[in-house]
């Protein structure tokens, strides 16, 4: 969880998410690999703040009726971040270096090691489902 407090409403966080997701389309439309990398890095940094803000709203009892939609949005943001890291080979250590004020939560769940673990558990689930049929 982030050490920063985001004072934001669910509607505002939805607009923020749409804005961040628009950046992804702009990144893919560029031909210059250096620009793509820089823009992807910046977008991941923004999305890291966004996912922390969403998570705070998810845990805020005042917004519990929005929790299901916020959890879906949180998942979309995480998946998008992982794709940007993979597709543009973004170095998370460079983003961590920007986090000098320690406002972002831990980014270790975005690392390749953890992605492989998720894939393995998904493969196990599929194998179990096949055996049940």
- Is residue 116, in this structure, part of any structural domain at all? no
For 60, other C-beta atoms within 10 Å of its C-beta total 13
Give the integer Cα–Cα distance in Å for 86 and 94.
15
- Is residue 30, in this structure, part of any structural domain at all? yes
Residue 35: domain span: 10-105
Of the two residues 38 and 126, the one the predictor is more confident about is 38
- Is residue 96, in this structure, part of any structural domain at all? yes
The band of 89, judged by pLDDT with boundaries at 50, 70 and 90, is: very high
Domain count, the chain: 1
- Is residue 125, in this structure, part of any structural domain at all? no
Longest dimension (CA), the chain: 52
Is pLDDT at 58 greater than 90 in this prediction? yes
* Predicted local confidence at residue 8, as pLDDT: 92
Instruction: Kindly report whether the global pTM for this prediction surpasses the value 0.85.
Output: no
- Is residue 111, in this structure, part of any structural domain at all? no
The band of 116, judged by pLDDT with boundaries at 50, 70 and 90, is: very low
Q: Where are the alpha helices (DSSP H) in 4-111?
A: 10-29, 33-58, 67-88, 92-98
Give me the half-sphere count of Cα atoms (radius 13 Å) on the Cβ side of residue 73.
28
- Is residue 4, in this structure, part of any structural domain at all? no
The band of 122, judged by pLDDT with boundaries at 50, 70 and 90, is: low
Is pLDDT at 39 greater than 60 in this prediction? yes
- Is residue 92, in this structure, part of any structural domain at all? yes
Here the contacts of 77-80 (C-beta below 8 Å, separation 24 or greater) are: 77/17, 77/20, 77/47, 77/50, 77/51, 78/51, 78/109, 78/110, 80/20, 80/21, 80/24, 80/47
* Predicted local confidence at residue 78, as pLDDT: 94
- Is residue 114, in this structure, part of any structural domain at all? no
In this prediction, residues 62-72 reach a mean pLDDT of: 96
Give the integer Cα–Cα distance in Å for 10 and 71.
11
* Predicted local confidence at residue 132, as pLDDT: 52
In this prediction, residues 39-60 reach a mean pLDDT of: 93
* Predicted local confidence at residue 133, as pLDDT: 54
DSSP annotation of 66? G
């Amino acid at each position: 969880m982030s050490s920063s407090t985001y004072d934001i409403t669910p509607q505002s966080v939805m607009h923020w998410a749409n804005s961040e997701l628009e950046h992804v389309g702009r990144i893919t439309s560029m031909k210059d690999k250096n620009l793509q990398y820089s823009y992807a890095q910046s977008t991941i940094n923004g999305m890291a703040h966004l996912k922390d803000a969403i998570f705070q709203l998810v845990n805020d009892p005042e917004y519990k009726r929005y929790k299901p939609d916020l959890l879906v949005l949180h998942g979309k943001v995480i998946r998008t971040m992982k794709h940007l890291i993979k597709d543009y080979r973004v170095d998370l250590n460079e983003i961590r270096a920007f986090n000098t004020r320690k406002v972002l939560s831990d980014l270790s769940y975005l690392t390749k090691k953890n992605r492989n673990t998720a894939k393995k558990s998904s493969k196990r689930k599929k194998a179990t489902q096949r055996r049940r049929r």
